């Protein structure tokens, strides 16, 4: 396949779905106890809802939403730290668009901007570095967040800042790692999963090899999946086929993008700039060992945590919000008491309603739409 529309072919999608249904019939599963496959990445969640893929599959298969949206797992305390930096005199605070609307304990970065503080949306950390060069008398801070997908661009930018000695540029590092996150979920006593759709973008950087522990130690299959409709359906087929065959392996459906050993250049930059934190706090999931990274000592001059004072408080979500249960797949978004009522994309209470990859946003925008099967994807 060479073109996007080929990955959205309705007839092929129906053919794959038919083969999945035939395989499911050979397994002892029921609608009361369906096969549960977690899509780790929020990009998969939105593709599943946008293209109506759940309607293709038998009722004996259920998607479970995972914690693969980095904006969604930002604790309120981290947002408060961002606002604290942005409110300091002479600071230009830069971040990706989604992060601007995530609520802190009192307000969001967007509200801080409305109050007159210099908060700017950028499309890459290089944009923030350019702003620093253009404003040498001011401190420019970039809010670095995301899994290994976005780490390389941040690392390369920090290396460039060090090379050019742009001393008024710094990074507030909140990058997170995927492997300890999946392990923490597998260790949860409440989690019952039959397999994983592995994140395609993260895997493009780290490769497929790091997931081997999932099959070896936890006896669960994982298929690294692309993001188009046929990618996801084929990946579900591969998971079900493993269960039918009695196999438990790490497979790579997204071979056109994901190499087994990852991207050597990207991994080298990440290793040069970052080191693992002992602990890192996640929204709704608590502290997960070695799940975040910090800036190495050699780049200390560009570390916002060293440059600025900030509250560094742990702040719990509102009691009525159930972000933690949603982000770990324990409940569906519409089961949260606030969903679609006081918590909407226009008035978000939880980060999952803010991000373009958030499960709540996907359910809100697409979950109530019934699409005729013939129109689910292009024909």
- In this predicted structure, the answer to whether residue 369 has a pLDDT above a threshold of 50 is no
Domain ranges of the chain: 27-367
Please tell me what DSSP assigns to residue 303. Answer: B
Question: pLDDT tens digits for 170-184?
Answer: 999 999 999 999 998
Question: pLDDT tens digits for 285-324?
Answer: 889 999 999 999 999 999 999 999 999 888 877 778 888 7
* Most confident by average pLDDT, 244-248, 316-320, 367-371: 244-248
- Pull the structure tokens for residue 295: 């800036």
Three-state SS string across 28-65, please? CCCCCCCEEEEEEEHHHHHHHHHCCHHHHCCCCEEEEE
User: Which CATH class name applies to 27-367?
Assistant: alpha beta
Question: pLDDT tens digits for 67-99?
Answer: 878 888 888 999 999 999 999 999 999 999 989
3-state secondary structure of 289: strand
- pLDDT for the residue 284: 74
H helices of 148-300, where? 151-164, 178-186, 200-206, 212-218, 229-245, 264-273
For residue 241, the tally of other CB atoms under 10 A from its CB is 16
> In the structure, what pLDDT confidence band is assigned to residue 376 with cuts at 50, 70 and 90?
very low
Is the CB of residue 172 less than 8 Å from the CB of residue 304? yes
Closest CA to 174 of 132, 125, 211, 136: 125
H helices of 146-228, where? 151-164, 178-186, 200-206, 212-218
CA distances from 341 to 117, 199, 218, 346, 360 (A): 30, 31, 39, 11, 12
> In the structure, what pLDDT confidence band is assigned to residue 373 with cuts at 50, 70 and 90?
very low
Q: How many residues does the chain have?
A: 379
- pLDDT for the residue 368: 56
Compute CA 280 distance to the chain's CA centroid, rounded to the nearest angstrom. 16
> In the structure, what pLDDT confidence band is assigned to residue 248 with cuts at 50, 70 and 90?
very high
Q: For the chain, report the end-to-end CA distance as a whole number of angstroms.
A: 15
- In this predicted structure, the answer to whether residue 144 has a pLDDT above a threshold of 60 is yes
Question: pLDDT tens digits for 197-228?
Answer: 999 999 999 999 999 999 999 999 999 999 99
- Pull the structure tokens for residue 217: 């130690």
In the chain, pLDDT over 90 holds for what percent of residues?
A: 68
Task: Return all residues near 57 (Cβ < 8 A) that are at least 6 apart.
Answer: 17, 20, 21, 233, 236
């Amino acid at each position: 396949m060479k073109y996007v529309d080929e990955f959205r072919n309705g007839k092929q999608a129906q053919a794959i779905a038919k083969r999945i249904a035939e395989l499911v019939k050979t397994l002892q599963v029921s609608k009361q106890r369906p096969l549960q496959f977690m899509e780790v990445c929020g990009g998969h969640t939105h593709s599943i809802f946008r293209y109506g893929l759940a309607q293709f599959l038998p009722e004996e298969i259920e998607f479970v939403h995972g914690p693969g949206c980095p904006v969604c797992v930002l604790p309120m305390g981290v947002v408060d730290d961002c606002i604290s930096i942005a409110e300091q005199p002479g600071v230009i605070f830069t971040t990706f668009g989604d992060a601007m609307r995530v609520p802190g304990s009192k307000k969001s970065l967007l509200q801080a901007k409305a109050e007159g503080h210099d908060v700017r949306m950028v499309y890459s950390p290089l944009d923030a570095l350019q702003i620093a060069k253009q404003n040498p008398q001011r401190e420019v801070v970039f809010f670095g967040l995301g899994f290994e997908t976005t780490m390389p661009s941040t690392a390369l930018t920090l290396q460039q800042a060090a090379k050019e000695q742009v001393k008024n540029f710094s990074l507030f590092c909140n990058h997170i790692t995927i492997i300890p996150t999946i392990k923490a979920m597998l260790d949860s006593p409440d989690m019952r999963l039959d397999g994983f759709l592995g994140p395609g973008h993260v895997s493009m950087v780290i490769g497929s090899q790091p997931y081997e522990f999932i099959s070896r130690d936890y006896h669960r299959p994982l298929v690294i999946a692309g993001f188009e409709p046929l990618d996801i359906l084929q990946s579900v087929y591969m998971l079900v086929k493993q269960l039918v065959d009695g196999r438990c392996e790490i497979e790579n459906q997204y071979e056109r993008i994901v190499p087994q050993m990852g991207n050597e250049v990207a991994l080298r930059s990440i290793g040069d700039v970052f080191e693992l934190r002992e602990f890192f706090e996640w929204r709704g999931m608590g502290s997960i060992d070695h799940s975040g990274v910090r800036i190495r000592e050699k780049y200390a001059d560009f570390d916002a945590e060293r440059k600025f004072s900030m509250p560094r408080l742990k702040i719990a979500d509102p009691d009525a919000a159930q972000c933690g249960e949603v982000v770990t797949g324990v409940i569906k978004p519409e089961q949260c008491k606030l969903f679609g009522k006081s918590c909407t994309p226009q008035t978000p209470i939880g980060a999952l309603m803010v991000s373009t990859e958030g499960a709540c946003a996907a359910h809100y925008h697409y979950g109530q739409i019934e699409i005729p099967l013939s129109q689910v994807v292009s024909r």
